[in-house]
Amino acid sequence: MKNNHSNNFKWNYNYIATHKLADETLEKYRIEKINPEETFVRHPVYWSYYVSQYGRVISMKWGKASLLKAHIGGQPDRQYLYYCFCLAGEKHTIGAHRAVADVFCPNFWDKFAHLEAHHLDGNRFNNDYHNLILLPRSLHKAIHNIKKMVLLKDGVLLQYGNPLDLLEETGLTLEEILLANKGKKKPLKSTGGYTVFDIKGHLLGFQYYPQKRKERKTKKK
């Protein structure tokens, strides 16, 4: 499976390079990294907070560094890890996944408040930046219907775990990839259990989750 885009910070490299917390600060306040690669970067909205690519957060309020503790919240069947951030004297609850995605994932739409962070492996507690992608709600809904995606190239099925890698390989947009089965487009064929579409000369194959049927509500007379 191809999943290469997130082996480094190339998507947001410039921002990360100029807004990361110095190692000297971590050493001063005795905050140990998970590994040598862990990098804490200032959140673009909540400037007093620095987020790592693994979902940990450091607060620099009052000029002192302290590692924040995440809490579990949400509905019983849809729980996430959350942090409490303060901005202009008000408290804000933000998901760890969204905080990581805001810093480390590319934003192609420039609609910061209207995007959602998606967990690629379906594990809501896996907030590693490898596992996240920022999407508008329509594409977030669409990606939940996709089980697997492949690129058919030279007779070989190349599986992709992240649509960003498919974007890089083909030059297609995320809309073209994730909405391949929408509109008037008809699949060319099925092969290896995948429904194949020709999108601008690229043969993309998808396995979709079964659609749930909506039960009709009967009115009582």
Tokens of 218: 């009967």
The pTM of this model reads 0.86
Can you tell me the distance from the alpha carbon of 94 to that of 83, in angstroms, rounded to the nearest whole number?
5
Please check whether residue 184 is in contact with residue 197, taking contact to mean a CB–CB distance below 8 angstroms.
no
Report which secondary-structure segment, H or E, holds 208.
strand 202-208
Positive or negative, the Cα torsion across 187, 165, 12, 22?
Answer: positive
Tokens of 38: 């862990």
User: Mean pLDDT over all residues of the chain?
Assistant: 89
> Residue 103 pLDDT > 60, yes or no?
yes
Q: What is the pLDDT of residue 10?
A: 75
Report all structural domains of the chain as residue ranges with CATH numbers, in order of start. 5-141 (3.90.75.20), 146-208 (no CATH)
pLDDT in tens, 31-71: 999 999 999 999 999 999 999 999 999 999 989 999 999 99
Tokens of 221: 């007379």
> Residue 91 pLDDT > 80, yes or no?
yes
Q: What is the pLDDT of residue 191?
A: 83
> Residue 221 pLDDT > 70, yes or no?
no
Please check whether residue 3 is in contact with residue 162, taking contact to mean a CB–CB distance below 8 angstroms.
yes
Instruction: Give backbone dihedrals phi and psi of 134, rounded to 5 degrees, phi first.
Output: -90, 130
> Residue 113 pLDDT > 90, yes or no?
no
Q: What is the pLDDT of residue 182?
A: 87
Helices assigned H by DSSP within the chain: 13-19, 23-28, 96-104, 137-143, 163-170, 174-178
- Per DSSP, 2 falls in state B
Burial of 127 (0-12, 13-18, 19+ CB in 10 A): buried
pLDDT in tens, 122-171: 999 999 999 999 999 999 999 999 999 999 998 899 999 999 999 999 99
β-strand pairing of 66-67 with 156-160: unpaired
Q: Which of 43-47, 75-79, 81-85 bottoms out in mean pLDDT, i.e. has the lowest?
A: 75-79
Q: Confidence band (pLDDT; 50, 70, 90) for 199?
A: very high
Strands (E), 49-165: 49-52, 57-59, 66-67, 71-75, 78-87, 90-95, 115-119, 132-136, 146-153, 156-160
Per cent of the chain over pLDDT 70 is: 90
Can you tell me the distance from the alpha carbon of 144 to that of 26, in angstroms, rounded to the nearest whole number?
38
Please check whether residue 21 is in contact with residue 42, taking contact to mean a CB–CB distance below 8 angstroms.
yes
